[in-house]
Amino acid sequence: MAERALITGAAGFVGGRLARRLAAEGWEVHGIVRRPPGDPLVRALGAVCSAHYHDGSMESLTRLVALSRPTVVFHLAARFVADHRPTDVGPLIHDNILFGTQLLEAMRAAGTRRIVNAGSAWQHFRNAEYSPVSLYGATKKAFADLLQYFVEAHGIHAVTLELSDTYGPGDIRRKLMPMMLEAEQMKRELSMVRGELPLNFVHVDDAVSAFIVAAKRLLANQVAGHEVYAVRSNERVAVKELFAIWEAARGTALAARWGERPYRAREVLEHWTQGAPLPGWEPRVSLAEGLRGL
């Protein structure tokens, strides 16, 4: 029988790519969405999986988990805010803590015991074992702590993957790579921070592979409790080096006004090296190859 996946954040960049990859590998795929059925992303998702609308309630989520009967839950849904404002506090807590906890409770009620959770490198300011870069990073750690309770008290088996920045074709998020692609297409300069800012990028296909490797560990009963792994590239670059790699890979020199944008109060100014590597996974798409494929 085919394995059954339930993906939160299935209409997102990485979640959508994961849904398509799992479907291609023969999984029965279900996605939880909060966008209306007519949304283009939801319609596209419906071509590869069963998309289930969640109205935000505990009852709705309990019903969706029971209906889909997943052998593995992939929890990718999250709200990212680099520098929060007062109006961001409620949505960050709701989306990154409350929703995930409701999901775990729904899993407990349905007897579903395996979850792959998306953590973040933003939990490691100054390369610390734990120091949140932002309120977003703090909410990701808070959910991981709640997950630990369900592991210990209710027999959940979990793998958390702490991801560096992801990128790849079709990314519509307001992040650096899409902004660089837009600048290339529009032939305009970019307002940038100083050029020594350290970066680490994981291609979306490599990130998806990491989620699948983690799921297979769970299905093979190789995870006793809650395992946490770092998912990052072996290519550590500064932002000015990224622009040089872009020019070599794509044949286009991007103009930048270096230092025009100030650093954030808790800007990440050193590479993150903490965390154990995920057994059986390694990044395969080089940065140059990934840039050519945008």
With the C-alpha atoms ordered 178, 184, 187, 191, is the resulting torsion angle positive or negative?
Answer: positive
List the structure tokens of 240: 């000015």
* Contact criterion met (CB below 8 Å) for 146 and 104: yes
> Does residue 108 sit within a domain?
yes
159 and 240 belong to one structural domain = no
Helix pair 58-68, 99-110: axis angle to 10 deg: 50
Phi–psi pair at 53, nearest 5 degrees: -80, 130
Residue whose entry in the numeric block shows the structure tokens 């100054």: 126
Output the domain CATH number for residue 150: 3.40.50.720
- β-bridge mates for residue 73, sequence order: 6, 115
- Residue 207 and residue 78 in one domain: yes
Is 266 within the bounds of a domain?
A: no
- 95 and 68 part of one domain: yes
pLDDT in tens, 201-249: 999 999 999 999 999 999 999 998 999 999 999 999 999 999 999 999 9
Q: Is residue 219 part of a domain?
A: yes
- Looking at the fold, whether 10 and 150 belong to one and the same domain comes out as yes
Q: Quick one: how far is CA 116 from the chain centroid?
A: 11
The one-character DSSP state at 29 is: E
Contact, 133 vs 266, CB < 8 A? yes
CB 191 within 8 A of CB 259: no
250: nearest Cα among 242, 258, 262? 242
What is the rounded average pLDDT for all residues in the chain?
Answer: 96
- Whether the per-residue pLDDT at 37 is higher than 80: the answer is no
What total of structural domains would you count in the chain? 2
What CA–CA distance (Å, rounded) separates 121 from 216? Answer: 23
Is residue 269 domain-resident? Answer: no
Assess whether 37 and 19 both reside in one domain: yes
- Both 141 and 26 in one domain: the answer is yes
CATH of the domain at 189: 3.90.25.10
Range of the domain at 284: 176-199+235-259+276-292
Q: Give the whole-angstrom CA distance, residue 44 versus residue 46.
A: 5
Q: What is the pLDDT of residue 293?
A: 97
Which helix (H) or strand (E) covers residue 6, if one does? Answer: strand 4-8
Beta carbons of 7 and 32 less than 8 angstroms apart: yes
In this predicted model, which residue has the larger pLDDT, 294 or 34? 294
Query: Tens digits of per-residue pLDDT, 156-197?
Result: 999 999 999 999 999 999 999 999 999 999 999 999 999 999
Q: For the segment 40-59, what is each residue's pLDDT rounded down to a tens digit?
A: 888 888 888 999 999 999 99
| Closest to 161 measured CA to CA, from 235, 229, 72, 66 | 229
Q: In this structure, what DSSP letter does residue 38 have? A: T
Cα-atom radius of gyration of the chain, to the nearest Å? 19
